[in-house]
Amino acid sequence: MLTRRGTVLVTGASSGIGRECARLFAGRGFQVFGTSRRERPDTDGVRMLRMDVTSPASVDEAVGEVLARCGGIDVLVNNAGVMHEGFAEETTPAEAEAVFAVNLFGAVRVTDAVLPGMRDRRRGAIVNVGSLAAWVGEPGEAFYAASKAALARYTEALRHEAAHCGIAVSLVEPGAFTTGVVAASTRSTAAIADYDGPRESARHTLHEGLRRGADPRRAAAVVVRAACARSPRFRYGAGTEAVWLPALRVLMPQRLFDRLLRRSFGLPR
């Protein structure tokens, strides 16, 4: 179990769940470093560092600064991510690769920079922030959902691989929270007329759901609980949807699930 005064590194800490995670850790007495793609002032006991998770040099520089200051990292929270809006056919391979570069390989890159120190000390906790989108291929979010599903499987494998080194690896999958993710999302540049109606309907459903989302502090509390648990579980859900969506996805017949999904997104049958 993580003790107070440990060192925590939170990626994507300039807003939303990442910012609230960093604040919560700092409020509990931990030494906290947050990262952002742009320079940000230190705030609420959090030392902010510039890090672009898609750049090996940027990751190495930021992690190196934390190690130089503190000697080790006790907890890594991989929260940096990007949402992409666009139907699958309208999304170019380059646009899809850019989503994976942040949501999957960004987490991999930072983890690889932190793991050697954790292995040397035979302790550490890694919490990857995924999404309930990993459970459902929602229209208009094909590559976002795919990247989060890939992150889930990577997290599961890493959990087994690193366990004997005293490193706990967990996944937190938030539902809808008001994080500002839509404002920072990327969108497909191509537009195919056949998708105009369904695309706008799916986008409206997504935006409305996120607009009515819960306070990100609730998701941050789940992340901190996972990091500090004596025997961390593999998966933690965050939000009301986290209670029923995975069970519904597994237990409901596919045809019925498809019907409900299409109706909720206003898609033609």
Our answer to whether residue 144 is catalytic in this structure is yes
Among the listed residues 144, 154, 195, 236, the single catalytic one is 144
The structure tokens listed for 188 are 């497909």
Amino acid making up residue 103: N
Q: How far apart are CA 26 and CA 10, in angstroms?
A: 11
Residue with tokens 């503190």: 70
- Which strand (E) or helix (H) includes residue 256? helix 254-264
Q: How far apart are CA 153 and CA 33, in angstroms?
A: 27
Q: How far apart are CA 92 and CA 12, in angstroms?
A: 25
Q: How far apart are CA 90 and CA 84, in angstroms?
A: 12
Catalytically active residues are 144
